[in-house]
Chains A and B, each alone.
Chain A
Amino acid sequence: MQRQILGFLALIAAITTSILLLRSGLQTPLVASLLTATLIVLQIRMQEKSKVPVNETHVPLQVIEDLNHRLSETHEQLVSAKAETLKLEDQLKKVSTAETEDAAVLMFLRVLQEKSRILDFALTDIARLPDPQVGAAARVVHQGLRSVLADSFAIDPIATESEGQTLQLPEDFDSTRYRVLHSSAAQPNNRGVVLHRGWEVKHMNLPRSLRQPGEALPSVLAPVEIEAREALS
């Protein structure tokens, strides 16, 4: 079947080439006949090639089927592995983000302890201590906290009105910024007296670290301090 088609094509090609060559003004029937001859030779060679026994093609077909099968299997494995990796990557990301966040909080806690002694203040039981002592310690903490806040944040009150003044909110006020208390459910009120002006961070300049994921968490909030001298006994 294939042979017949090829032969037919060769014949048509030969005729077409001759016509084309004649049309383009090349008076060379020799070229045309040569081309036809070449095509005939080609056809004969094709015929010779297709003389290979047909039954031998069964084996390669099986191999291909086998290969196809294995390929689809591998593909399935690849897809599941990919999903697995994504899942793992996701988990890792979650872990390292959580870890980085933990590390940042620990770092900030350390800043607070260093500058404002907040742990020394909060972790001592003050129920029995006289007010002047608490007051003196509070001054230390207060001053330190102020300097930490000044270093890392620009904080402004939200409301421009001062406490005690009346404030009229628009209908569609932002409930994250304003909260109306004791407003009747039936007749919601957007007008009232400012109790607290609110606070808002305008700008942040937090300390940062060059910590790599996987490094130990900076869990030391204050190192032991030792003065290089002999203890008085």
Chain B
Amino acid sequence: MKDKAGLVRGIDLGTTHSALAYARCDEETQELHAIAQLDGPGRLIDHELLPSVGFLAEERDASLRDRALPWDLSGEAPLVGRWARALASGNPEKAVLSAKSWLCYAGSHREARLPQGASEDRSWTAVEASAHFLRHMDASFRASLGQEPVQRTVLTVPASFDLVARQLTEEAARLAGLQNVTLLEEPLAAFYAWLSAHQTNWQDALKPGDLVLICDIGGGTSDFSLVSVSADQGLLRLDRIAVGRHLLLGGDNMDLALAHHCQAQLLKTELDHWQFLSLQQEARRAKESLLTSDAPDHWPLAIAARGSNLFAQTLRCELTRSTAQSLLLEGFFPAVELITEKPKARSAGLARMGLPYENDPAITRHLGAFLQQAQEQVRLSIDLQNSLGKTWIKESKALMPTAILFNGGVFHSEALRQRVLHLLQNWGATRLQELTSPGYDHAVALGAAHFARLQMTGQGMRVRAAAARSYYIGLESNEPAVPGLRRPLRGLCVLPQGTEEGSKLSLPEQEFGLWTGDALSFRLFSSAQRSSDQLGTIVSDAEADLEEVTELQCHIPQGDEQPGLLPVHLRADLSDIGSLHLAMQHSLSDRQWSLEFQLREEAKSNHA
């Protein structure tokens, strides 16, 4: 009998907005918590969304008294939320924005300080920023719900977040003082919200053989996942079988596109940063209205200047329905052919230091590529073929879903949903039903809270989410060096795709020699396609066939062992919460030394 008392929470830590939902273990519903936050000087407001924006305020920006919070009257808590966003529009160089995107930025950028270029005491790392958002939400929640213990907190991450990004998210939760934290993929959270809303009748909609595509387009990221429905010994079984690539592309890009279009209309006038941001906000409203079925032909926009003369300084421009539709539908959701068109690759050369936004804004091309990748994945794996049954058509170029669940604010627009549905039908999805989202903006937080309760009580339908990617460690090959010839780096599979959470893997037949006292580094690679690789499979050219994730380090202190070469083999533990721990296991004893991701954050925070 599992614990049934107390509260559980789900937190959607988003790129632009965050939300928190909670549930009681003995009840069936979950609710959003209105997050208390500063909206202006000394002004608190409760709102369901917390803008994921931080502002490094000094006394001259906002006095400590004006920054007091009900749970911290000193006013020294980091300023996040609505007021931070408002202040950021006037002083962007003190603003921390899109911290989440930096968490999944390969290379050393993960520990970049935000705002970029600011000194250490006037900036946060992406992890610190995420911790500040989490701590704020936690404090607001505790202030409103009292001392009732929180049994579990489920934190959502994009399905495409790699291991390091997941670990950094956990680190942020730890810094924020959250306990009993589980990570959950956002598209799955949205799916859990749907399951929760259809607790009694979801089996009428989904039958064995169904394949659900979850299409989640957030503010800053797009995320695709496929969930298969199969029968396992008479019981229905749900498996998340594929996840897409990390795409830094979302609803904000659409607003930006419209804003740039409008700015081009205002030829003579130069917009300041603040005006451009309000133009972007206006563009978002225009987008929401112009993409409805009964949209007006014209949508006038008015952009005020900062001066008090509202009448002489307000700029006017206009968006027509046809421009909005062509910019957004054709720009972001073009009706592309499935096979021929691949997303445009990143253009070579120097790029300004910043986030690696997608080069190709066509979300539909990325979706097409994802379905083709999923098809390849199934082609290589007998297990996947068995679980899909007739849904998998060998000759098909792409894996076609039979149901689709939309998530994310942009899908308030029916036109966009229709475009995706029609496109999938054109691509060959002959039988396709739309699952009605329980709320495009809040499903992730609500689903996360539902999942948290499911974890506590053990009651409810679970989606098995085995490792969506396989992971490899780079090994130098033993061939003799030849001038001019690149020695390929081989990749040893340490975690095959499909590994269930909570698995412990060991590779005793692959023995390594480790020198004590040395810091050893390994390159970690991954692949979403290679579903047939087993534990210990060797990929002949890792650099060509796999994606590099990060570097791993292992250090065996000298005094620990006799100096010299130690025989070790690799162990991999995939924890219940989906994080991977790699370790070197001494072949002759129980001792083991863990392999750490190189990009460790210093575990400290500005506001301890």
Contact = CB atoms under 8 A, between A and B. Distances in A.
Interface stretch (B35-43, B329-337, B377-385, B447-455): B35-43
Contacts of A139: 300-302, 314
A207 B304 contact: no
Contact of A136 (B34, B70, B302, B308): B302
B561 interface: no
Interface stretch (B44-52, B120-128, B164-172, B539-547): B44-52
B510 interface: no
Interface in A139-170: 139-141, 143, 151-152
A129 B311 CA distance: 8
A207 B39 contact: yes
Nearest to A215: B65
A136 B43 contact: no
Interface string B69-104: 110010000000000001000100000000000000
B431 interface: no
A225 B90 contact: yes
A102 to B, nearest CB: 14
A120 B309 CA distance: 6
B282 interface: yes
A58 interface: no
B310 A140 contact: yes
B353 interface: no
Interface string B5-47: 0000000000000000000000000000010000111111111
Given A151-B45, A205-B34, A209-B44, A134 B39 contact: no
A208 interface: yes
A107 B309 contact: no
Nearest to B282: A143
B45 A126 contact: no
A124 B313 CA distance: 13
A121 B314 CA distance: 11
A210 interface: yes
A196 interface: no
Given A107-B43, A117-B304, A120-B308, A137 B73 contact: no
Interface in B561-589: none
A38 B41 CA distance: 86
Contacts of A209: 42-44
A111 B69 CA distance: 18
A225 B61 CA distance: 11
A222 B47 CA distance: 23
Nearest to B39: A207
B306 A136 contact: no
Q: Contact size class for B? A: 20 to 34
Interface string B294-319: 00000011111010111110111000
B131 interface: no
A98 B39 CA distance: 24
A120 B42 CA distance: 23
B196 to A, nearest CB: 24
Nearest to B44: A208
A59 to B, nearest CB: 62
A207 B43 contact: yes
Greatest chain A CB density within 10 A among B90, B308, B316 is at B308
B42 A210 contact: yes
Contact of A140 (B69, B73, B302): B302
Q: Is the interface of B mostly helix, strand, loop or mixed?
A: mixed
A2 B588 CA distance: 108
A86 B583 CA distance: 74
Contact of B314 (A133, A151, A208, A210): A133
Contacts of A151: 45, 47
A114 interface: yes
A133 B312 contact: yes
Contact of B285 (A124, A137, A143, A211): A143
B114 interface: no
Contact of B310 (A117, A132, A210, A218): A117
B68 interface: yes
A214 B39 CA distance: 23
Given A117-B310, A120-B308, A129-B311, A205 B45 contact: yes
Given A210-B73, A225-B90, A137 B314 contact: yes
A137 B311 contact: yes
A222 B90 CA distance: 14
Given A139-B300, A143-B285, A205-B45, A134 B311 contact: yes
B311 A133 contact: yes
Given A111-B39, A137-B314, A205 B46 contact: yes
Contacts of B43: 107, 110-111, 207-209
Interface in A25-39: none
Contacts of A137: 302, 304, 310-311, 314
B492 to A, nearest CB: 55
B314 A136 contact: yes
A71 B303 CA distance: 77
B446 to A, nearest CB: 20
Contacts of B312: 133
B46 A140 contact: no
Contacts of A141: 310
A133 B304 CA distance: 11
Greatest chain B CB density within 10 A among A136, A205, A211 is at A136
A124 B39 contact: no
Contacts of A110: 40, 43
A137 B86 CA distance: 21
A9 to B, nearest CB: 66
A210 B73 CA distance: 9
Interface string A119-135: 11100101001001110
Contacts of A207: 39-40, 43-45
B288 to A, nearest CB: 13
A124 B311 contact: yes
Contacts of A119: 308
A124 B309 contact: yes
B396 to A, nearest CB: 46
Given A120-B309, A129-B311, A210-B68, A136 B316 contact: yes
Contacts of A134: 311
Nearest to A125: B311
Nearest to A137: B310
Greatest chain A CB density within 10 A among B42, B285, B312 is at B42
A13 B9 CA distance: 80
Nearest to B75: A210
A225 B73 contact: no
Contacts of B39: 111, 207
A114 B314 CA distance: 15
Contacts of A211: 42
Given A139-B302, A140-B310, A111 B40 contact: yes
Nearest to A119: B308
Interface string A58-98: 00000000000000000000000000000000000000000
| A-B interface, 5 closest residue pairs, ranked by CB to CB distance from nearest | A139-B302, A120-B310, A137-B310, A136-B314, A140-B304
Interface of B: 34, 39-47, 68-70, 73, 86, 90, 282, 285, 300-304, 306, 308-312, 314-316
Interface of A: 107, 110-111, 114, 117, 119-121, 124, 126, 129, 132-134, 136-137, 139-141, 143, 151-152, 205, 207-211, 218, 222, 225
9 contacts: A111-B43, A132-B316, A136-B316, A137-B302, A143-B285, A151-B47, A207-B45, A209-B42, A209-B44
Given A114-B40, A210-B44, 9 more contacts: A107-B43, A110-B43, A117-B310, A124-B309, A126-B311, A143-B282, A143-B285, A207-B45, A211-B42
